Amino acid sequence: MMAMLDRGWVRGITLASAFVLMLLVTLFPRPLTVEDGSPIGHGTLMLIMWGLAAGFVHGIGFIPRNRILRTLLGPVVAWLGMGMVLVFYVQYFLR
C-alpha cells in the first residue's frame, strides 16, 4: 500500500490538494468556526495545519530519514489532516 502512495501521480494529487486547501483556508477562513461563530480550538487548527504541511512534504517528494518523522509527515497523516479541512468546509456550506 505504501508503495502505491509513493507514485508520482499520487504525490501530484496530494500537492494540488494541499495547495488548494491552503488557499481556501487563507482566503476564506470563515468555515473554520463553530456554529455560533467562535473560532475552532487551537488543537484542532494545529492538526489541520499539520495535515496541510504533511501534504506539502509528501507532495514535493521529500522522504525523511527518521522513521517517526516519516510517519508524521507521511501521506496517511496528510490525507487525514486535509480531510479535516474538508469536513469543516462541507459542514459550513450545509448550515
pLDDT tens digits along 41-87: 899 999 999 999 999 999 999 999 999 999 999 999 999 999 999 99
Distance of CA 91 to the CA centre of its chain: 17
At residue 14, the pLDDT reads 95
Q: What are the domain boundaries of the chain?
A: 2-94
Average pLDDT, the chain: 91
At residue 2, the pLDDT reads 67
- Mean pLDDT throughout 36-45? 88
Is 5's pLDDT higher than 80? no
Residue 75 has φ and ψ, to the nearest 5°, of -65, -35
